Structure 1
Amino acid sequence: MTESKLRVCIRKPTMEDCQELHSLIFRSKQFHFPWVIHAESSEHECKKYINRCQNNDVEGLVVCHLDTSKIIGVVNLSQIFYGNFQNAYLSYYVDVDFAGQALMSEGVHLVIDYAFNTLKLHRVEANIQPENKRSINLVKRLGFRKEGFSQRYLKINGEWRDHERWALTVENW
């Protein structure tokens, strides 16, 4: 992916983004169901999320359209470990109005590049529900490999859900 063809950029969220993030989540709630739990669905929760992004073990980034600066999605690197592990867990979601345009593929690509080149991580892992084909296709396009299956891995919307474990290492990036 060359720089001249990019349609998005990434940046850290600010408190001024809360209303736009809240609107994105509200508008996209049905689209994301049942894959995503939106912790930042209220203004108070959004502020807590942005504060949490200041911690050393979380990198929350918004994906913005270059033409309009509008936030079109969110990508998180969480539970970042350094030392001998150098790993993070990847999660992301797109604004329903921008779904299917490959903008999140560009945004996640930028975040993976950031994870490996700026944060100096060795590995990024994404745990995805098997039925979430769009998300699985996104990580496949970026070179992630399926490593395994975790039964009842994560509680989402009150139910323990199975997940596939996908990962990418810096050597394969």
Structure 2
Amino acid sequence: MSIQRPSIGEYSSFYESYILALPEGDILAFLNSQINEFSELLQSLTEEKANYRYAEGKWSIKEVLGHINDTERIMSYRLLRIARGDKTPLAGFNESDYVAYAGSERLSVSDLLAEFSAIRTATLLLAKQLDDEAWKRTGTANGAEITARAVIYVLAGHAAHHLNLIRERYLH
């Protein structure tokens, strides 16, 4: 199955940088590769490095991982609802509040990575069962129209964005 990159207009401009930064090719293979990419980069972090913040008020690596996991869950749920033809508008979420209440600093990096792997695997299993018509369906999330295929690209782009930030700002 080939899921075409969504066109501008299938998603809010907020997501444009996530989607346009992704490489061409099989988006599901890319999503799957991110599981190993995160693990290989972060599994050996010390507790001190995992709690590092590159500036005052910025999230730690653990909090970034918790944020990625929360976003994966929310976007995967949006994918399910939209792909199934549910037209009920889906609410947005305040990422800062989610991070503040998540308690990710209490978890180990290995637990956060295992959680990411589990959620991403579930997302991939959902994606693999969708047909061409499901990928074209639209819904409303956070007040904006979005297609199911745009949601899957946002998931990949969001994780890639944070992986790049971790490399650039945390692991130098």
Which structure has more relative contact order (CA 8 Å, sep 6+)? It is 2
Q: Verify same fold: TM over 0.5.
A: no
The normalised TM-score by structure 2 is 0.26
Kindly indicate which of the two structures has a greater share of residues assigned to helix: 2
Larger CA Rg, structure 1 vs 2: 2
